[in-house]
Structure 1
Amino acid sequence: MGVTSPLKGPTRSRSFTTKLLPYVLYASFSIALCRFYFHFFPFLVSNRIILTSSSSSSPSPSPPSLSFFREEETAYETPCNYTNGRWVHDKMGPLYNGTTCGTIKDGQNCISHGRADLGYLYWRWQPNQCQLPRFDPNTFFNLVSNKHIAFVGDSMARNQWESLLCMLATASNPNPIYTNGEDNKFRTWHFDSHNVTVSVYWSPFLVRGVEKSKDGPDHNELYVDVVDDRWGSDLDHLDTVVLSVGHWFLHPAVYYEGGSVLGCHYCPGLNHTEIGFYGVMRKAIKTALETIIERKMGSGCGIDVFLTSFSPSHFEGEWDKAGACPKTEPYKEGEKMVEGMDADMRSIAVEEIEAAKVNAKQFGRLRLEILDVTKLSLMRRDGHPGPYMYRFPFADGVREHVQNDCVHWCLPGPIDTWNQIMLHVIRRWRGGE
């Protein structure tokens, strides 16, 4: 038997280590470089379009600093409590105006109707503990490409839909592909550049309803346990749904559930029990959310659902007796509180979306969120069309009585912030995938 030299084994080991060392160092350097790249430059990979100019003729921007990416990453990936805050001056102003966007409903195009005090355009919402990034249409397109987004509800849903359409139109031209109903209450536009469809469905109660009319009853009729089929039948084709209701529940109505009369709201002369509207509004929202969850769960497809909370009006006086909203600046922080009916309507929306989140946990690919805009909207007493729901209402002098719109929002205007918040939530959702 030969004797193994005590130096032979270690000599081979040192030789092998010497040859391997450069590869180890090279691999370690590569891994470190990759970690640095993905940690500090997440948008270069997952959101490249942010760095792309919306105009092909514009010069290429210089590379942003590392601090830019850290701030953006923190702003989007850390949940932002945007509910409480204040309105601060913003010299940048809105993304669009009343002449560059051809989709604004006539009564909300305050600029083209002659409103002269344009200070309402230069405010932005500043949450107390975080930054809310400015709306970027290219970012939105990048996150929702090949998707169908539907706004479902009353005229506030249409108001928000038109706001989003106008902001997106600053980066890509929308094409109208469908209009139907009185005053085009059902509309669909398509952005060919990113295959994004944006629709609005008129459904002021979310559930099946018969609206009062000159030829019919002088009250609304609601079936609180059945979703409105005008939008419910299209659920399989929708990827994001934004629900918005509230103001129509204040009108006189008779309610039905299970084929029987449940009660009514303000129905003198009818032999029905007065039950108010809060509980019925809750039932309607619950029915809508449960239907979406059940339908999507059964189909195996995912969906994103937003519920926009109640948006207060700002009439000084009775709305139908020449009540106006003449103020030209927002309320200051702490000057106006969410209370009374505004608080109750908001609470119903918040509570129902939270309950729906619990029900949806067992089903993957279903995400729900409240767009809690009640407080930030309450503070914007200056952002309504007011008398400028009509074109140049004072062209022939100041009239003693003129109808005002103190419910809907000028476009551009405060409602653009609602979509700014929605983009923030979508970005956070996508970042978690």
Structure 2
Amino acid sequence: MNFFQFLAWLISPNIWRTLPYRSSSDQKPNIGKQLFFKNNNIPYETRQRNASKNSLAACDIYTGTWAPEDAMPPYNSSTCPFAEVGFLCQDNGRQDADYLKWKWQPTGCDIPIFDIIDIRRRLKGLRVAFVGDSMGRTQWESFICLLMADIADKSSVFEVHGNTITKKSPYLAVRFSFFNFTVEYYRSPYLVQEGAPPKHVPKRVLSTIKLDKIEQTEARWMQADVLVFNTGHWWTKSKTFARGCYFQVGKSIRLGLSLESAYRTALNTWATWVKTKVNLTKTQVFFRSYEPSHWEGDWQMQVCRSETRPLLNLSYTENFPHLQALNDVIQEVNAPITVLNITSMSAYRQDSHVANWTQGNMVDCGHWCLPGLPDWWNRLFYAALLKNGVGVWA
């Protein structure tokens, strides 16, 4: 090959298509574009074009169906130490893996691949905080596991206080030291305060949920750059009245207040706090909607069945009062809050619960396997960040 032939070869576009890409700000990762439930039949570049910013703007990412996809998630217990042992269904004896081989397909559009190189680049120097119940902690764990899936030096990702991930942990913060960002979790099942009742109340009142007071730890997370809230599963008889917990507004105990009314009041307190206390020019606020459980029976006698396939009955997704209350409150308060509406997509996934595949002799049709459905919540979270196009996500 003479010099001119070499020069023609060098400037040919084909040679550059074959060279590996590596971001200057992201030197260690090596999986990159192939990560997260890769569709082997459609090239990555085609899927990304389909989910371009223009098409995302008009895309209802929350309405769609689950479709089979012959791919596997990018992490497991050996690659992510932050996935809670009780949620690791494969490690806990689950033999089938079909529940991992489904993709959420919005109607008439596509959502982007969960591009960890892009996400880590955008998160540099920022704080992401998840605030809520154990379902919020599951999403937090999933988000961390996805973001560290291709990091060779696992010790560069660590809990800042050396804490172990447990369901009792009130606060957890995982630092991605090489990329200079932190992903935090704050336990707050109600998003408002729970504590001792005032004096001179009926004996059955052992504690109260103060519907007009935001969670006491608010000062620790209100300065985060991205806030993701959730609440819902603790607004039940078994978590309130059955354990002597009633509702309080001011100094008044509201013994006759229904769960639905109390939930709306608490959401109003939270949304008003967001609007008046959070610096919304700096912080993006999300509320991840309620994800249905798949228990059978009433709250006093619940049955959990191990399922291996999603539900196909669309009528199951029609009536969700938690979601309606959330939408009503956000509209009334008129706060710039993005609802991550994962309610319908999660309602189909009876097969993705931990069920019998958890620790001890418990069965659980409320929590979810990891890897599993929560990974798709985070994929929609990423799509929503891109769709909003605020700050570093523009």
> TM-score range, shorter-chain basis?
0.7 to 0.9
Within the candidate set 368, 374, 380, 1:415 is matched to 374
Residue 246, structure 1, aligned to residue 232, structure 2? yes
TM-superposed CA distance for 1:74, in Å, is 4.5
Equivalent position amino acid for 2:95 in 1: A
Within the candidate set 277, 283, 289, 2:265 is matched to 283
Within the candidate set 361, 374, 380, 2:343 is matched to 374
RMSD (CA atoms)? 3.2
Residue 350, structure 1, aligned to residue 288, structure 2? no
- Corresponding residue SS for 1:388: coil
> Counterpart in 2 of 1:32?
none
CA distance change for structure 1 residues 415 and 276 in 2, over 3 Å: closer, same or farther?
same
CA distance change for structure 1 residues 430 and 416 in 2, over 3 Å: closer, same or farther?
same
Equivalent position amino acid for 1:199 in 2: E
Within the candidate set 311, 335, 356, 1:331 is matched to 311
> Counterpart in 2 of 1:166?
145
- Corresponding residue SS for 1:229: coil
Please give the residue correspondences for 1:27-176 in structure 2 after superposition, counting only pairs within 5 Å: 49=23, 55=29, 70-74=49-53, 77-172=56-151, 173=154, 174-176=157-159
Equivalent position amino acid for 2:228 in 1: V
Residues in 1 aligned to 2:332 and 2:72: alpha-carbon distance in whole angstroms: 37
CA distance change for structure 1 residues 107 and 58 in 2, over 3 Å: closer, same or farther?
closer
TM-score (norm 1): 0.72
Unaligned runs of 5+ in 2: 1-20, 34-42, 198-202
CA distance change for structure 1 residues 390 and 375 in 2, over 3 Å: closer, same or farther?
same
Residue 424, structure 1, aligned to residue 383, structure 2? yes
- Corresponding residue SS for 1:406: strand
- Corresponding residue SS for 2:268: helix
Please give the residue correspondences for 1:218-257 in structure 2 after superposition, counting only pairs within 5 Å: 220-230=207-217, 232-250=218-236, 251-252=240-241, 253-257=245-249
> Counterpart in 1 of 2:200?
none
- Corresponding residue SS for 2:158: strand
Unaligned runs of 5+ in 1: 1-46, 265-273, 361-366, 392-401
Preserved CA contact (<8 Å) 1:346 1:374? yes
Equivalent position amino acid for 1:238 in 2: A
Residue 316, structure 1, aligned to residue 296, structure 2? yes
TM-superposed CA distance for 1:194, in Å, is 2.1
- Corresponding residue SS for 2:228: strand
Superposed CA deviations along residues 338-369 of structure 1, whole A, max 9, x for unmatched, are: 32xxx11111122223334x3x4xxxxxx420
TM-score (norm 2): 0.79
Equivalent position amino acid for 1:197 in 2: T
Residues in 1 aligned to 2:341 and 2:282: alpha-carbon distance in whole angstroms: 23
CA distance change for structure 1 residues 190 and 348 in 2, over 3 Å: closer, same or farther?
same
Residues in 2 aligned to 1:414 and 1:57: alpha-carbon distance in whole angstroms: 22
Residues in 2 aligned to 1:50 and 1:128: alpha-carbon distance in whole angstroms: 36
Please give the residue correspondences for 1:294-305 in structure 2 after superposition, counting only pairs within 5 Å: 294-297=276-279, 302-305=282-285
Preserved CA contact (<8 Å) 1:108 1:409? yes
TM-superposed CA distance for 1:428, in Å, is 2.0
Residues in 2 aligned to 1:92 and 1:73: alpha-carbon distance in whole angstroms: 23
Preserved CA contact (<8 Å) 1:87 1:332? no
- Corresponding residue SS for 2:149: coil
TM-superposed CA distance for 1:375, in Å, is 0.5
Equivalent position amino acid for 2:187 in 1: W
Within the candidate set 179, 182, 191, 1:194 is matched to 179
Residues in 1 aligned to 2:311 and 2:30: alpha-carbon distance in whole angstroms: 41
Residues in 2 aligned to 1:57 and 1:207: alpha-carbon distance in whole angstroms: 41
Superposed CA deviations along residues 53-106 of structure 1, whole A, max 9, x for unmatched, are: 8645999xxxx9986664342476424212221111111221212332111122
- Corresponding residue SS for 1:131: coil
Equivalent position amino acid for 1:209 in 2: E
Preserved CA contact (<8 Å) 1:101 1:166? yes
4+ residue runs over 6 A deviation: 50-53
More helix by share: 1
- Corresponding residue SS for 2:389: helix
* Bigger-Rg structure (1/2): 1
TM-superposed CA distance for 1:168, in Å, is 0.8
Preserved CA contact (<8 Å) 2:129 2:185? yes
TM-superposed CA distance for 1:325, in Å, is 2.6
- Corresponding residue SS for 2:371: coil
Residues in 2 aligned to 1:425 and 1:156: alpha-carbon distance in whole angstroms: 19
Residues in 1 aligned to 2:232 and 2:289: alpha-carbon distance in whole angstroms: 8
* Percentage identity across paired residues of the two chains: 26
